[in-house]
């Protein structure tokens, strides 16, 4: 407790608060630009922290991390240009809301949900980090395999009205996911000799292409196009979500925060699995699942509380075991060690003051971005009134430059443009793009873990059902698949038309 | 072209591609081919389902939303021009020209406004990506 | 599209070499060097261990040269893309880059048909870090030394599972070398990074972890893992209790080294100047202290010695490859 008070003292100095504010603003900006990921944001801050005292350095890194994950939701909702894979699920419902003139409300809900998820995971981090970290170790390749399948099952809820087209889109994503040098055999698969493809089809250029570039096409090509659809062309609805709506979403936020925190602890999973599973679970538990994908505040709340809960979750194995929960926290470890703090139990004893300073600053950063976000949302939403042909070129420029900045590779820019055209026609011809991206993210996780399991178990498929944790996950998958079918069947029987 | 015709074409094309993936996957060494085969087969099945669906279902067939071909062509030219000019003349010659062209031609903005937006926006990109993040954007003619 | 980009690059190169040929002698170039920021190409992503070292080195070398050093990440194809960029850069001293041995030496023959650079295109400058390979088991593992481990592999080869980070990487090569020494077949599982592999090891999903010292130090010092062997001539400084492979009768030497290289045709004066600057950085006690905190063992090899080091390693690995390729073609 004393340590917490000491840490609180550290966070509440003017210098620390200034660092926190700057970090939060920088993080929000970085997160909202396509191509600038949280990983990049944190990595770019590391050299700045070299000459800072450890407290301030960690405050800066923490603030950039949590607020960049939130920042992604702003452009995902208002412009349907998710900056990273973490906010794809947010765009699914957020953008239809913005198009209907309710962008401010959607942003407000996203902000509150992010705050909820972020705070939840930080509280978990303070309260039960060491025991929870064993979750990271309990997951072996078998469990990751089933988890990836769980993630893929969510495609059902994303593409429910055109299941076959959804499956085709996902299959294309899975095929794309096999491109590259195979880590197991060293064999080149579908690279056609292009060394740019040896590491696989890069995810973010495809994502930016399918969402942002195609959105630039959508906005520019129709005469008089724009975000706000219909003839009224005005902002409707409330500035902030109604208290009733917030209360309605509380259960979803809580469930998503738990999912996000747990998935965050797993080093091999990734933020997007958490937000997709939460989204699909929210839909499964909803009394009006048919409204998901067409502008349902609950969908925004599910995805956003999950992806911000991941931030605290990823820090649990990072700080307690020295095993980074994702790419961002891997960079974090670098930042910690440079300041002489070796991740592991000693962080909570020897360096407890600095560690708790970091954790408290995460709390404050969450509050800060929420305040800034709630204040900004009514102003930001004006963006949706700008004519499409003015927004489109700017989105395209950000996409092109952002894609290039990912790894300074012009090949990726051509790739993003190609997928932009593909995405444009997919939308016109009613093929959903999200399944392709989900499959491209989860395909490699599924494949490497499946093959690892098979190598460990010598091609004995029962290994997935003989381990308790893996069996439990299998049951969840079956439940997630069977429940919507059962519900549909029941509804048909009870309401014959 | 109606959506059903398009679906049939897409199914045929992607079905062939998926078949090629399966065949290539079968020839791969060790367990490297397992996933390509499974993914390709899944895609093939989906294509089959889509193709059958277009043949069986008679009722709902509609054309896709109308496409403004002229604007589409202009926009594609602008984007292609941006990339080619970026690689030859340099990023910060290409960006304002692209913005100016598309804002004028597609957005029908007046000259002063279009020019201001182009220059300010390009400057913003310069500050964020070159000055703050030191991204080595293609410099072209402007590099010493 | 790619060819267009390449041709633009070639034109750029052509202009530079034309300038060099027509009057502008290399001495005048060297005299005011460095007159503009220097690009440091890192062939791996931002935030990785190679990148962290590069950024720290850049900070110190900036002070030496009195000029900005900009780190540019060009990750892709396990480092190959970055080295292609480095090899093709203008040899004017304004582009330097990190090379990771032994990976940089093996691509020219393991990827013979597609590789975009040759070792002759690069001139190694100075090695900074040598991170020895290790074989690590969990703390509750029954195996105390390599003999225990080999005995277990001999009695039940299928139950022993050992991780590595990609076929043909230094961890994999070290483990293969060990398997050949011990005359056993190892059961490998590939991992994408040491985070997942460490979690799998501590969680008991795999038997052993083939990695580098810097990746294992924390877990060993915390008492969660045990080093069976370190593949170096002497024991590692932070881990004095872990015996070397040679001490246990297995003649295996393996390490991952990180150093700097430049495009091959760089003027000698500039090469010497940068060599001197690197020497000063590596001798700087503050730099050493930062490397120590990151568990990166400093191992300076300068100039021609480094060139020979890379060439020797290349010849040795190529012979191994021709004998028994680890990736079937």
Name the nearest CA neighbour of A365 among A62, A96, A111.
A62
Which structural domain range is residue A193 located in?
2-491
Domain locations along chain B: 3-56, 69-142
Q: Which helix (H) or strand (E) holds A378?
A: helix A352-380
How many Cα atoms occupy the beta-carbon half-sphere of A356 within 13 Å? 19
Report yes or no: B67 at the A interface, CB cutoff 8 Å: yes
Cβ neighbours of C59 in A, within 8 Å: 47, 50
pLDDT-derived band at B53 (thresholds 50, 70, 90) equals: confident
**Whole-number Å distance between alpha carbons of A118 and A366:** 6
Do C47 and A42 count as a contact with CB atoms less than 8 A apart?
Answer: yes
pLDDT digits (tens, 9 = 90+) for C138-154: 999 999 999 999 999 99
Q: Is residue A496 part of a domain?
A: no
Do A334 and C47 count as a contact with CB atoms less than 8 A apart?
Answer: yes
Nearest CA in chain A to B121: A394
Other Cβ atoms less than 10 A from the Cβ of B19: the count is 15
Other Cβ atoms less than 10 A from the Cβ of B136: the count is 17
pLDDT digits (tens, 9 = 90+) for A224-253: 888 886 555 567 767 788 899 999 999 999
CA quadruple A135, A141, A142, A144: dihedral, nearest 10: 60
Cβ neighbours of C75 in A, within 8 Å: 199, 407
Cβ neighbours of B87 in C, within 8 Å: 4-5, 8
Report yes or no: A182 at the B interface, CB cutoff 8 Å: yes
Nearest CA in chain A to B2: A429
Using CA of residue A122, residue A127, residue A133, residue A138, what is the dihedral sign? negative
Do C39 and B136 count as a contact with CB atoms less than 8 A apart?
Answer: yes
Average pLDDT over residues C234-243: 91
Contact present, A138 and A469 (Cβ < 8 Å):
yes
**Measured distance between the N- and C-terminal CA atoms of chain B, rounded to whole angstroms:** 53
Contact present, A283 and A96 (Cβ < 8 Å):
no
Q: What are phi and psi of C176, to 5 degrees?
A: -65, -40
Cβ neighbours of C39 in B, within 8 Å: 136
Q: Is residue A236 part of a domain?
A: yes
- pLDDT confidence of residue C114: 76
Please tell me the total count of domains within chain A: 1
- Structure ipTM: 0.94
- Residues of B at the C interface, defined by Cβ within 8 angstroms: 29, 84, 87-88, 134, 136, 138, 144
Show the tokens assigned to C319.
């012979």
Q: Which one of B28, B31, B85, B134 makes the best mutation probe of the C interface by having the most chain C beta carbons within 10 Å?
A: B134
- pLDDT confidence of residue A487: 75
Q: Average per-residue pLDDT in chain C?
A: 85
Show the tokens assigned to B6.
């398009």
Do B144 and C36 count as a contact with CB atoms less than 8 A apart?
Answer: yes
pLDDT digits (tens, 9 = 90+) for B65-115: 888 899 999 999 999 999 999 999 999 999 999 999 999 999 888 999 999
**Whole-number Å distance between alpha carbons of C122 and C54:** 18
Q: Where are the beta strands (DSSP E) in chain C?
A: 38-42, 69-73, 95-101, 122-138, 161-164, 187-190, 208-212, 225-230, 255-263, 298-302
pLDDT digits (tens, 9 = 90+) for C64-92: 998 888 888 888 788 888 999 999 888 98
Q: Which one of B28, B88, B130 makes the best mutation probe of the C interface by having the most chain C beta carbons within 10 Å?
A: B88
| Integer CA distances (angstroms), A491 to A293, A488, A497, in order | 20, 5, 11
Residue A229 distance to chain B (closest CA, Å): 14
- pLDDT confidence of residue C329: 44
3 state SS of C143 = coil
Q: Is residue A364 part of a domain?
A: yes
- pLDDT confidence of residue A41: 84
Q: What are phi and psi of C159, to 5 degrees?
A: -85, -10
pLDDT digits (tens, 9 = 90+) for A39-83: 888 877 877 887 788 888 889 999 999 999 999 999 999 999 987
Helices A14-32 and A54-79: crossing angle in degrees, nearest 10, is 30
Contact present, C262 and C125 (Cβ < 8 Å):
yes
Instruction: Supply the DSSP symbol for A233.
Output: -
Strands C208-212 and C161-164, sheet pairing: parallel
Strand partners, C122: C263
Q: A255-264: string of b/e by CB count within 10 Å (b at 16+)?
A: bbbbbbbbbb
| Integer CA distances (angstroms), C98 to A295, C59, C125, in order | 49, 15, 10
Do A456 and C47 count as a contact with CB atoms less than 8 A apart?
Answer: no
Cβ neighbours of B88 in C, within 8 Å: 8
**Whole-number Å distance between alpha carbons of A398 and A392:** 10
Strands C122-138 and C208-212, sheet pairing: antiparallel
Contact present, C231 and C253 (Cβ < 8 Å):
yes
Nearest CA in chain B to C37: B134
Nearest CB partner across the interface for B29, out of C8, C72, C328 = C328
Using CA of residue B113, residue B115, residue B118, residue B119, what is the dihedral sign? negative
Name the nearest CA neighbour of A286 among A255, A240, A241, A309.
A255
Q: In angstroms, how far is CA C131 from the centroid of its own chain?
A: 8
Cβ neighbours of A164 in B, within 8 Å: 46, 49-50, 53
Q: What percent of chain A has pLDDT over 70?
A: 98
Contact present, A34 and B123 (Cβ < 8 Å):
no
B134 burial (CB, 10 Å; 0-12 / 13-18 / 19+) is middle
Strands C69-73 and C38-42, sheet pairing: parallel
Q: Average per-residue pLDDT in chain A?
A: 88
Report yes or no: A387 at the B interface, CB cutoff 8 Å: yes
pLDDT digits (tens, 9 = 90+) for A396-413: 999 999 999 888 889 999
Report yes or no: A452 at the C interface, CB cutoff 8 Å: yes
Nearest CB partner across the interface for B107, out of A167, A178, A390 = A390
Supply the Cα-derived Rg of chain C in whole angstroms. Answer: 21
pLDDT digits (tens, 9 = 90+) for C16-73: 444 444 444 444 556 788 888 899 999 987 767 788 889 889 989 999 998 888 888 8
Q: What are phi and psi of A84, to 5 degrees?
A: -135, 175
Q: Which of A183-187, A289-293, C221-225 has the lowest mean pLDDT?
A: A183-187
Q: Is residue A497 part of a domain?
A: no
Cβ neighbours of B84 in C, within 8 Å: 4
**Whole-number Å distance between alpha carbons of A99 and A119:** 30
Contact present, A412 and A406 (Cβ < 8 Å):
yes
| Integer CA distances (angstroms), C161 to A72, C178, C195, in order | 40, 14, 17
Q: What is the DSSP string of A126-162?
A: HHHHHHHHHHHHH--HHHHHHHHHHHHHTHHHHTTTS
Residues 299-328 of A with CB under 8 A from B: none
Residue A152 has pLDDT above 80, yes or no: yes
| Integer CA distances (angstroms), A70 to A151, A283, A306, in order | 22, 22, 11
Q: Which helix (H) or strand (E) holds A181?
A: strand A180-181
Residue A184 has pLDDT above 90, yes or no: no
Show the tokens assigned to A28.
């929000």
Q: Is residue A473 part of a domain?
A: yes
Task: Map out the domains of chain C with their CATH numbers.
Answer: 2-130+255-323 (3.40.190.150), 132-248 (3.40.190.10)
What region does C190 belong to: left with phi over 0, alpha with psi -120 to 50, or beta?
Answer: beta
Strand partners, C133: C212
**Whole-number Å distance between alpha carbons of C204 and C121:** 45
Residue C5 distance to chain B (closest CA, Å): 7
| Integer CA distances (angstroms), A13 to A10, A335, B23, C72, in order | 6, 22, 65, 35
Residue C84 distance to chain A (closest CA, Å): 10
Do C328 and B136 count as a contact with CB atoms less than 8 A apart?
Answer: no
3 state SS of C280 = helix
pLDDT digits (tens, 9 = 90+) for A409-444: 899 999 999 999 999 999 999 899 999 999 999 999
């Amino acid at each position: 407790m004393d340590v917490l008070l000491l840490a609180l003292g550290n966070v509440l100095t003017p210098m620390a608060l200034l660092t926190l504010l700057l970090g939060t603003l920088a993080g929000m900006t970085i997160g909202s630009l396509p191509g600038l990921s949280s990983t990049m944001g944190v990595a770019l801050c590391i050299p700045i922290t070299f000459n800072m005292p450890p407290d301030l350095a960690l405050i800066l890194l923490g603030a950039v991390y949590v607020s960049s994950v939130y920042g992604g939701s702003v452009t995902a909702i208002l412009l349907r240009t998710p900056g990273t894979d973490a906010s794809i699920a947010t765009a699914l419902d957020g953008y239809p809301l913005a198009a209907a003139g309710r962008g401010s409300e959607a942003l407000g809900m996203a902000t509150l949900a992010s705050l909820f998820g972020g705070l939840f995971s930080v509280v978990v981090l303070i309260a039960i980090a060491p025991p929870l970290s064993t979750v990271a170790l309990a997951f072996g390749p078998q469990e990751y395999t089933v988890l990836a399948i769980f993630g893929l099952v969510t495609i059902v809820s994303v593409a429910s009205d055109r299941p076959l087209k959804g499956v085709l889109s996902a299959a294309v994503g899975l095929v794309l996911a096999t491109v590259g040098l195979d880590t197991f055999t060293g064999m080149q698969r579908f690279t056609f000799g292009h060394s740019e493809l040896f590491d696989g089809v890069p995810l973010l250029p495809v994502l930016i292409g399918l969402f942002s570039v195609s959105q630039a096409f959508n906005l520019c090509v129709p005469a008089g196009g724009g975000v706000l659809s219909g003839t009224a062309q005005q902002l409707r609805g409330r500035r902030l979500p109604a208290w009733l709506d917030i209360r309605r979403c509380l259960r979803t936020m809580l469930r998503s925060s738990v999912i996000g925190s747990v998935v965050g602890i797993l080093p091999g999973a990734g933020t997007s699995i958490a937000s997709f599973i939460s989204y699909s679970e929210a839909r499964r538990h909803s009394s009006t699942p048919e409204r998901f994908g067409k502008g349902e505040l609950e969908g925004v709340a599910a995805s956003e509380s999950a992806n911000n809960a991941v931030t605290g979750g990823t820090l649990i194995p990072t700080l307690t075991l020295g095993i980074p929960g994702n790419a961002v926290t891997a960079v974090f470890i670098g930042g910690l060690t440079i300041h002489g703090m070796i991740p592991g139990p000693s962080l909570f004893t020897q360096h407890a003051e600095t560690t708790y300073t970091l954790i408290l600053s995460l709390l404050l950063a969450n509050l800060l971005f929420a305040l800034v976000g709630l204040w900004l949302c009514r102003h930001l939403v004006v963006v949706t009134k700008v004519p499409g042909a003015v927004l489109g070129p700017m989105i395209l420029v950000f996409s092109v430059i952002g894609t290039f900045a990912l790894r300074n590779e012009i090949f990726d820019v051509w790739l993003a443009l190609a997928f932009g055209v593909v995405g444009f026609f997919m939308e016109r011809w009613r093929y959903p793009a999200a399944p392709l991206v989900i499959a491209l993210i989860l395909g490699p996780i599924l494949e490497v873990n499946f093959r690892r399991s098979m190598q460990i178990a010598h091609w004995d498929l029962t290994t997935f059902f003989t381990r308790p944790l893996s069996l439990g996950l299998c049951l969840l998958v079956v439940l997630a698949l069977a429940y919507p079918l059962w519900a549909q069947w029941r509804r048909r029987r009870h309401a014959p038309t | 072209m109606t959506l059903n015709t398009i679906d049939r074409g897409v199914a045929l094309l992607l079905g062939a591609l998926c078949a090629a993936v399966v065949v290539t996957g079968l020839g791969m060494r060790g367990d490297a081919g397992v996933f390509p085969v499974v993914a390709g087969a899944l895609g093939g099945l989906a294509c089959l389902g889509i193709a059958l669906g277009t043949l069986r279902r008679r009722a709902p067939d509609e054309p896709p939303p109308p496409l403004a071909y002229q604007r589409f062509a202009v926009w594609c030219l602008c984007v292609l021009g941006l990339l080619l000019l970026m690689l030859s003349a340099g990023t910060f010659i290409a960006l304002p020209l692209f913005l100016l062209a598309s804002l004028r031609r597609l957005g029908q903005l007046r000259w002063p406004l279009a020019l201001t937006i182009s220059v300010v926006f390009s400057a913003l990109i310069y500050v964020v990506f070159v000055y703050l993040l030191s991204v080595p954007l293609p410099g072209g003619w402007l590099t010493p | 599209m790619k060819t267009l980009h390449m041709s633009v690059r070639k034109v750029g190169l052509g202009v530079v070499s034309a300038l060099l040929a027509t009057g502008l002698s290399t001495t005048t170039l060297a005299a005011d060097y460095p007159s503009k920021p220097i690009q440091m190409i890192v062939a791996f992503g931002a935030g990785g261990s190679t990148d962290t070292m590069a950024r720290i080195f850049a900070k110190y070398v900036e002070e030496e040269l009195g000029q900005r050093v900009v780190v540019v990440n060009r990750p892709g194809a396990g480092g190959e893309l970055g080295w292609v960029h480095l090899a093709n850069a203008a040899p004017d001293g304004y582009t330097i880059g990190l090379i990771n041995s032994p990976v940089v030496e093996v691509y020219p023959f393991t990827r013979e048909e597609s590789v975009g650079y040759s070792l002759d295109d690069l001139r190694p400058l100075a090695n900074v870090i040598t991170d020895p390979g290790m074989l690590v088991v969990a703390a509750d593992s029954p195996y105390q030394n390599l003999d225990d481990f080999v005995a277990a592999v001999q009695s039940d080869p299928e139950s022993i599972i050992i991780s590595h980070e990609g076929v043909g990487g230094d961890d994999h090569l070290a483990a293969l070398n060990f398997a050949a020494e011990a005359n056993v077949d190892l059961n490998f599982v590939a991992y994408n990074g040491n985070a997942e592999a460490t979690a799998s090891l501590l969680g008991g999903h795999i038997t052993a972890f083939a990695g580098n010292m810097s990746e294992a130090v924390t877990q060993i010092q915390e008492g969660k893992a045990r080093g069976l062997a370190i593949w170096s001539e002497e024991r590692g400084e932070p881990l004095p209790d872990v015996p070397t492979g040679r001490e246990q009768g297995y003649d295996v030497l393996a390490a991952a080294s990180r150093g700097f290289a430049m495009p091959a045709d760089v003027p000698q004066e500039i090469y010497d100047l940068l060599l001197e600057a690197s020497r000063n950085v590596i001798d700087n006690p503050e730099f050493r202290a930062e490397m120590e905190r990151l568990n990166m063992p400093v191992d300076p090899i300068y100039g021609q010695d480094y060139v020979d080091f890379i060439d020797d390693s290349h010849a040795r690995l190529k012979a191994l490859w021709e004998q028994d390729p680890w990736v079937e073609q």
